[in-house]
Amino acid sequence: MSQVHSNLHRSAISDWWEGTRRTDIWWTLAWFDIVLRYRRSMLGPLWLTLSMGVMISGMGPLYASLFGTKLNEFFPHLALGVIFWAFFSSVVTDACNAFVGSSNYLKQGYFPISLFVWRSMARNVIQFAHQIVLYVPVALWAGISLSWSALLVLPAFLILIVNAHALGLLLGLVCTRYRDVTQIVTSVMQMLMFLTPVFWVPSSLPARAKYILWNPFAQMLDLLRTPLMGGVADVHNWLGILCWTAVSIIAATLLFAKYRRRVVYWL
């Protein structure tokens, strides 16, 4: 009972720090999630790479002909767009079930709840690592020449992780209390996929539709994809994402500090 009591009365910063520093727990749980998903499979997690590769290979020539662009220019754009969007989408949708899917652990009253947001993120990072390797053959085939600007993908990915964790805490709490929100988030992500330049090129938009590029997923995608295609992302996208990051952290902090103790009762 002392462990349960101390966990319920753990401060917000203490909960976050305890959950963050226990990489041995959340990384192991995330790895076992992947292992169990592909148990008794001959290729195991390589199915993630294979299925993504088949989808990109089939979509590339089709969409290049639809948009009237050269395949060697459009193919890297599409491949990186699909790979990064799969990561965005899985991070957001998994965050909705971060606490619900870990109810057996949380009901013990010992684990900090932030640990299970890291577990969800680590699981998606492992999946992403199996898929991003497809960029290498695509870049070699398309003849992409990278410069030092390609290193900008590292701070961009760090910003993505910060946003993903903040959004994970926020959505995890809301979706645990209101289970219908999970379906709403899933539907919104499906809609945003077509409003984000995943399958299409931003330059093809008419001037009156440029506001679509203001959505944070489009800005984040530009920060990650452009350096890997030999370019430099627009400054306004960096500023937009930094503002979005500040809003996400503030909202997640306020919600986490006020409602984290109620998660066990909502389960």
pLDDT at 83 over 50: yes
> pLDDT tens across 199-222, in order?
888 877 777 767 788 889 999 999
Task: Please report the pLDDT score of residue 1 as a whole number.
Answer: 38
Cβ 101 vs Cβ 222: under 8 Å = no
With vertex at residue 68, the alpha carbon angle to CA 63 and CA 70, rounded to the nearest 5 degrees, is 85
pLDDT band at 2 (very low <50, low <70, confident <90, very high): very low
Rounded Cα distance between 64 and 185, Å, is: 30
Cβ 189 vs Cβ 45: under 8 Å = no
Cβ 179 vs Cβ 103: under 8 Å = no
Task: Give me the number of domains the chain comprises.
Answer: 1
CA dihedral sign of residues 190, 191, 192, 195: positive
> pLDDT tens across 4-18, in order?
444 556 678 888 888
Domain assignment of residue 237, given as a range: 2-266
With vertex at residue 89, the alpha carbon angle to CA 179 and CA 257, rounded to the nearest 5 degrees, is 50
Rounded Cα distance between 186 and 228, Å, is: 28
Task: Please report the pLDDT score of residue 61 as a whole number.
Answer: 82
Tokens at 68, concatenated: 């009237």
SS3 letters across 88-131: HHHHHHHHHCCCHHHHHHHCCCCCCCHHHHHHHHHHHHHHHHHH
> pLDDT tens across 34-50, in order?
888 877 777 777 777 78
Task: Please report the pLDDT score of residue 111 as a whole number.
Answer: 82
Task: Please report the pLDDT score of residue 3 as a whole number.
Answer: 47
Task: Please report the pLDDT score of residue 147 as a whole number.
Answer: 80
3 state DSSP class of 206 = coil
Cβ 49 vs Cβ 133: under 8 Å = yes
Tokens at 153, concatenated: 């993908």
Phi, psi of 182 (to 5 degrees): -60, -45
pLDDT at 69 over 90: no
Q: What is the mean pLDDT of residues 167-179?
A: 92
Task: Residue 70: name the closest of 233, 197, 201, 194 by CA.
Answer: 201
